[in-house]
Amino acid sequence: MASIPPTRERGRGILIEMTRPGDDEMTTDQYTFTNPAELYADFEPKKQHQPEPGLDAELVPKADLGEKTYRGTGRLKGRRALITGADSGIGAATAIAFAREGADVAMSYLPEEDVDAQRIAQIMQDAGVKVMTLPGDLRDAAYCRDLVDKAVKGLGGLDILVNNGGKQVYNEDLATLDDDQFDDTFKTNVYAMFWITKAALPHLVAGSTIINTTSVQAYKPSEILVDYASTKATINAFTKALAQQLAPKGIRVNAVAPGPIWTPLQVTDGQPQEKIAEFGEQTPLGRAGQPAELAPAYVFLASAESSYVIGETLNVNGGTPTP
Ligand code: NAD
Ligand code: MG
């Protein structure tokens, strides 16, 4: 029986060095049969620090956002999506995947992340879809409402909403967790989801899909992420409650719960710096995930192929058991 050649010879990692962006230049993609424990075997997270919100442009080593590894097959042709936090990390990988699946996409991110957002927007435009860049602060309800308004007008409607923007700053002692951080974490992760979803609802026709980004922290909260983990548990409950309310209208609400994924969030005090070198090693797979490995989960939940999947949390976490 033929054995699977090691990842270094045929997995995604090595191709990052060997190929340039573009669908036709890909020789491996998300469908390549390979050993997930050896995928990205040459990836080693390095101790580093950036101020919030952090830039993908300065992340070392680079995250795989699917630039050279995600192949679209028309699963979202003609759809119109709004994605928050679409400039970097999981949101950027999702944005690239949506564009290559044929969706027009409006991107939300902070103004100081424009360098990341413009690079992702260009990759998406290369896929031949319409792209809107709509920077602003998710903690501001007026921005959130205006964001939906502009996306609907610019894209000519909206039928996919991905609430993904998020804040994670560790804190070791509740006595020093100040009110501003608690407030910012809830505003960014929970209130923005509420404001944006509420503003989007009147525009969402039957068949539309809403996907919220929760976390393994919702069930397995770290002692140093009291505020963040609480928001992620809230997002799961919000998703499951709203899913039941909107199912009769034909609008499906689901969530994705990532495990440890290599993104700017982690190096902007998402973790203590000493923990970054072994980031992800505690998972059954023994490694951190890449944003590109999340994108197919969002595509599945956004697409009509998941028509009977409602109120579900899809865990993409390298094997950590969840309820
Ligand atoms: P990321 O830093 O690449 O993305 C987060 C994005 O949130 C930023 O790019 C930024 O555009 C946006 N954002 C943050 N504060 C904002 C604000 N005030 N206004 C507007 N935009 C704001 O990191 P990521 O890891 O890809 O994070 C995406 C989502 O995934 C977050 O909800 C995060 O909680 C979740 N998540 C990440 C991990 C992980 O290990 N990286 C694990 C579980 C869940
Ligand atoms: Mg960013």
Distance 40 CA to ligand 1 centre (A): 22
Which ligand neighbours the alpha carbon of 135 most closely?
Answer: 1
Integer Cα distance of 81 and 303 in angstroms: 11
Would you state the pLDDT for residue 21?
42
- Ligand 1 atom closest to the CA of 137, numbered from 1: 19
* Tokens describing residue 64: 């795989």
Which ligand neighbours the alpha carbon of 221 most closely?
Answer: 1
Would you state the pLDDT for residue 177?
98
Ligand 1 mutation pick, 112, 231, 263, max ligand atoms within 8 A of CB: 263
Ligand 1 pocket (Cβ < 6 Å) reads 53-54, 85, 87-91, 109-110, 113, 137-139, 164-168, 188, 213, 215, 258, 260-261, 263-266
Distance 14 CA to ligand 2 centre (A): 25
- Ligand 1 atom closest to the CA of 258, numbered from 1: 43
Give yes or no for a contact between 171 and 214, defined as CB atoms under 8 angstroms apart.
Answer: no
pTM of the model: 0.94
Would you state the pLDDT for residue 20?
35
For the chain, the structural domain boundaries read 7-316
Integer Cα distance of 204 and 184 in angstroms: 28
Integer Cα distance of 108 and 136 in angstroms: 7
Residue among 165, 144, 117 at smallest CA distance from 265: 165
Output the tens digit of pLDDT for each of the chain's 323 residues.
333 333 333 334 433 333 334 445 677 999 999 999 999 999 999 999 999 999 999 999 999 999 999 999 999 999 999 999 999 999 999 999 999 999 999 999 999 999 999 999 999 999 999 999 999 999 999 999 999 999 999 999 999 999 999 999 999 999 999 999 999 999 999 999 999 999 999 999 999 999 999 999 999 999 999 999 999 999 999 999 999 999 999 999 999 999 999 999 999 999 999 999 999 999 999 999 999 999 999 999 999 999 999 999 999 999 999 99
Catalytic residues: 228
Q: Topology of 7-316 in CATH?
A: Rossmann fold (3.40.50)
C-alpha pair distances (Å), 214 with each of 77, 198, 224, 233? 26, 18, 17, 7
Distance 85 CA to ligand 2 centre (A): 6
Integer Cα distance of 248 and 285 in angstroms: 39
- Ligand 1 atom closest to the CA of 288, numbered from 1: 40
Burial of 122 (0-12, 13-18, 19+ CB in 10 A): exposed
Distance 80 CA to ligand 1 centre (A): 21
Helices and strands in the chain: count of H runs, count of E runs? 10, 7
Ligand 1 mutation pick, 265, 268, 322, max ligand atoms within 8 A of CB: 265
Distance 175 CA to ligand 1 centre (A): 25
